[in-house]
Structure 1
Amino acid sequence: MAYLEITLQVDPGDRSAAAAVYAKYKNPFLDTVPGATSKELLVRDEDVQVLHGFRSAADAQAYLESDLFTRDVTSGLSPLLQAAPEARVYDSV
């Protein structure tokens, strides 16, 4: 099991729009991305995080290079971001 954590700096006033992007692409992510097992939206006062579950770290890395992420998700979120997103891949042992 592996996880991809993407941290997004989104103004509180834009968080509902960011949540809409998350909701729009959650099922396509789960249905079409190889190795995808889960996707959760985590909201804190200081940022928003999207936690993705995968069968392997290689699957997580491949998603970061996929059209779904680079073209669709990124273009939907870009106008809402205050800073570049931080992506981290974790491999569970």
Structure 2
Amino acid sequence: MPTNMLGEVTVKWVEAIHTKMPMCATGALFGALRLKPKQRRAYTMRYLPWALQVGYNAKNLMCVYYEKHWEQPMKELQHQLNITPFP
């Protein structure tokens, strides 16, 4: 996931759906308004569908003790948490 506005808005959607917190939804909604036309196209076609899928299907990410998983391969952890890798 890129560390730019597009990536951050995508992560906010995952957080908003997963945690059901209004501040995350607000950040996702208003952050998307700042995207440039080219980014907006990628956002609606690729990023947003992935974020919605992960937000609804991932296991509870708030209860994961991430420090215990440093040595675990990323793909294995994603599978364990039911997170689809970003395409």
Name the structure where helix makes up a greater proportion of residues.
2
Structure with greater contact order relative to length (CA < 8 Å, sep ≥ 6): 1
Relative to the length of structure 1, the TM-score reads 0.29
Structure richer in strand, relative to its length? 1
Considering only CA atoms, is the larger Rg found in Structure 1 or Structure 2?
A: 2
